[in-house]
């Protein structure tokens, strides 16, 4: 997870300019979200211009698409990113958080273990699903795997790195990054 967050923070996505700007067809609400997050769209390689003469939902014009290690991006990826931004804005506390068992005080905290994909901070950038998958594969490929013998110094370094993460519980693919070890016989023998 530490490797993934580093890759997410430091990865640069190149842009491929389009020959002519492509009009995006969005709902007015999606358009407002995109306008409020133009910097995030740009950081992900989507250059978007605004045509004020068009009606709401038809004002945005896509002038470049991202290019990253041979991946082909399209308008669908813009919609995917806008949807992720929309979910992140709406999940500060709503029915989905309650359905996941997350209390209002826990949203975005260490106890909200399922909200990591849409969440971002000053160091984490929301990404389209294709980029998320690419970064996740790169991060997990060289990570420490279960069963690998480690020296004490290596273990301490891993714990230090995990302690600095907002969501250290699992890798970007959803696999657990830690295991809780409990001596149940000692718990049973403990006086009540």
Average pLDDT for runs of 10 along the chain of length 192: 74 84 90 91 89 89 85 86 82 46 45 43 67 78 78 87 78 74 67 66
Q: Which residues of 79-96 are buried (b: 16+ CB within 10 A; e: fewer)?
A: bbbbebbbbbeebeeeee
Alpha helices in 19-94 (DSSP H): 28-36, 38-43, 75-90
Measure Cα distances from 161 to 1, 5, 156 in Å: 9, 11, 9
Average pLDDT, the chain: 75
Report the phi/psi class of residue 36: left, alpha or beta, with left for phi > 0 and alpha for psi in -120 to 50: alpha
Task: Write down the pLDDT at residue 35.
Answer: 92
Instruction: Say what the pTM is.
Output: 0.62
Q: How far apart are CA 175 and CA 159, in angstroms?
A: 17
pLDDT in tens, 149-164: 888 898 888 888 888 8
Task: Write down the pLDDT at residue 124.
Answer: 61
The residues, ordered by sequence, that sit 6+ positions from 98 with a Cβ below 8 Å of its Cβ are none
Task: Write down the pLDDT at residue 67.
Answer: 83
Task: Write down the pLDDT at residue 165.
Answer: 77
Task: Write down the pLDDT at residue 112.
Answer: 41
């Amino acid at each position: 997870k530490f490797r993934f967050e580093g890759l997410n923070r430091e990865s640069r996505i190149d842009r491929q300019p389009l020959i002519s700007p492509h009009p995006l067809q969005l709902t007015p609400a999606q358009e407002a979200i995109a306008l409020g997050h133009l910097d995030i769209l740009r950081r992900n390689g989507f250059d978007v211009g605004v045509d004020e003469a068009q009606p709401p939902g038809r004002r945005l014009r896509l002038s470049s698409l991202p290019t990253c290690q041979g991946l082909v991006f399209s308008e669908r990826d813009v919609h995917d990113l806008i949807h992720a931004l929309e979910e992140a804005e709406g999940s500060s506390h709503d029915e989905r958080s309650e359905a996941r068992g997350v209390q209002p005080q826990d949203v975005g905290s260490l106890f909200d273990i399922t909200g990591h994909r849409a969440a971002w901070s000053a160091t984490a950038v929301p990404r389209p699903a294709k980029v998320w998958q690419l970064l996740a594969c790169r991060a997990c490929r060289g990570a420490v795997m279960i069963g690998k013998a480690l020296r004490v110094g290596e273990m301490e370094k891993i714990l230090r790195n995990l302690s600095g993460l907002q969501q250290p519980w699992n890798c970007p693919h959803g696999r657990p990054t830690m295991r809780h070890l409990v001596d149940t016989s000692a718990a049973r023998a403990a006086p009540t």
